[in-house]
A and B are shown apart, each in its own frame.
Chain A
Amino acid sequence: MLESEFMRLALAAGAVVGVLAPAVGFFLVQRRQSLIGDGIGHVAFAGVAAGLLLDVAPVLTALVAAVVGGVAIEVLRSRGGTAGDQALALVFYTGIALGVVLVSAAGALDVGLYQYLFGSILTVTRSDVALVAVLGAVGLAAVGLLYRAFAGIAIDEEGARVAGVPIGPLNIALAALAAVTVALSMRVVGILLVAALMVLPVSAAALVAWSMRSTFVLSLAIGLGSTLAGLTISYYADAPPGGTIVLVAAGAYALLLAASTVRGR
């Protein structure tokens, strides 16, 4: 398997995304905003469509659209007096509707669209991997620097606000990080499954972890393991990589749920 360059590149890109997605998703799950990744994914779809229409690299337009969508969700939620789930629905549906209209205008309602909806990690190039590695490293460094701030807000947002912690800018930073993660993960698992890689490893880790930090570290390990195992299985079983990766993560959740149930008896 490793003698094929496309698999080496796929594993490299997958490793970065497998760690970054749960690292950012961890804070969304703690704040009960698990579906934000899904909402941003749908806005990223509109970005892909704009890229196809304007003949610009779809990953870049998706990145811009995802950041705008992520920040819009946060601004609507915090300042517009809109409830969190309604803010999400508003951006979610607007994104998908805009995407459908733009894709149709670009005449791109064809197989080429599939690689963005369901991932196309086996077609990543060296320059794709370089982009994923650089943005992934920046994202992970940001999470490392802001871990304590994000965790503190997840524990008690109101208490942090009263004490003068700049909640608004930190929430915007988290939304932007989620958007970058979605745009990078798009090639690995696809827009429709991107949120799964942000949420499932975290939910699985929380079943057996004993602290917030151990949940975080374990979720990164599960995300990385699921991505590498999913890619390996998909190579030998000739299965779609995106779906296989998410199924492995779901399997990890089921396994740890069983383990925690047995342990609890």
Chain B
Amino acid sequence: MPLAAALQGVAFGYRPGQSVLEGVSLGIREGEFVAIAGPNGGGKTTLVRLVLGLERPTQGNALLFGEPAHRSSRRHALGYLAQRAELGGDAPTTVREVVSAGRLAAGGLLGPLRKRDRGLVSEAIARVALEDVADRPLRTLSGGMQQRAFIAKALAGEPSLLVLDEPTTGVDAESQESLAGLLDRLHSDLGVTILYVSHEFGAVEGFVQRLVLVRRTIVFDGPPGDLPGVWHDPSHAHARE
């Protein structure tokens, strides 16, 4: 399988002399469902920003679909769900309006959405089972439903690689389970590559094919079943190690 994303011998710091990541080599094959976990401050969000080309490595290479990530020609094939606190806008915005924003890169910038784009928006809303509330303002919905709306927004762009950064922040346990099930269905139905980043991976442990633990460098990379018991809660045991 070709690689959707790769880091080769990557080191990174936000300031000279600072080391947030070092010696990181990682390949995400197309069609994989991978969880990136680790303690807060361990560098997992930085790792994702490097993969997405939002930061450039101070050493090594970051590749997206085989091209340098920061000037990839396939950016429209990326679906990204940022940490929820970073999403916003004050006007009452409906689910459909949020999801429509996901067609911006692929559907063109000028004028109204075309018929095909509107169809893809409706399809994405249906995939996350929000048809009944499609025209309701997002802020009137529960945290879990809001999160699903943003996943639909990412799906509307027909992504080859879906990246979710801390998607369970502020979402109750039941919604976390439901979110994990939804991602599993999307993975098997659409064959989309999923990169799931979170300080806790319990909700997706049963679904992901591969787990990568990050603490400045990669300390574990393999099937979740092979993970040593002491690391099963990376935000605690692993952080204290």
Contacts and interface: CB of A to CB of B under 8 A. Distances in A.
Interface in A186-219: 202, 205-206, 209-216
Interface in A152-169: 152, 154-156, 158-166
Nearest to A164: B75
A70 B156 CA distance: 33
B52 interface: yes
Interface stretch (B106-114, B183-191, B216-224): B106-114
Contacts, number: 112
Contact of A165 (B105, B110, B112): B105
Categorize the interface residue count of chain B.
35 or more
* Majority secondary structure, A binding face: helix
Interface string B43-71: 00000000010100000000000000000
Interface in A122-175: 145-146, 148-149, 151-152, 154-156, 158-166, 170
Looking at B87, B88, B97, B104, the one whose CB has the most chain A CB atoms below 10 A away is B104
B91 A156 contact: no
Nearest to B86: A158
A156 B82 contact: yes
Interface residues of A, number: 35
Looking at B93, B135, B137, the one whose CB has the most chain A CB atoms below 10 A away is B93
Contacts of B75: 162-164
A78 interface: no
Looking at B80, B109, B137, the one whose CB has the most chain A CB atoms below 10 A away is B109
Given A159-B154, A164-B76, A212-B97, A149 B104 contact: yes
Contacts of A247: none
A51 B224 CA distance: 70
Contact of B135 (A163, A202, A205, A211): A211
Given A163-B105, A212-B93, A156 B87 contact: yes
A31 B86 CA distance: 12
B87 A155 contact: yes
Interface string A62-94: 000000000000000000000000000000000
Question: 6 tightest CB-CB pairs across the interface, nearest first?
Answer: A164-B75, A163-B105, A152-B101, A215-B91, A152-B104, A162-B80
Interface of B: 52, 54, 72, 75-76, 78-82, 86-94, 97-98, 100-102, 104-106, 109-113, 135, 137, 150, 153-154, 157, 163
Given A155-B87, A159-B153, A211-B93, 6 more contacts: A26-B91, A148-B111, A163-B104, A206-B92, A215-B91, A215-B92
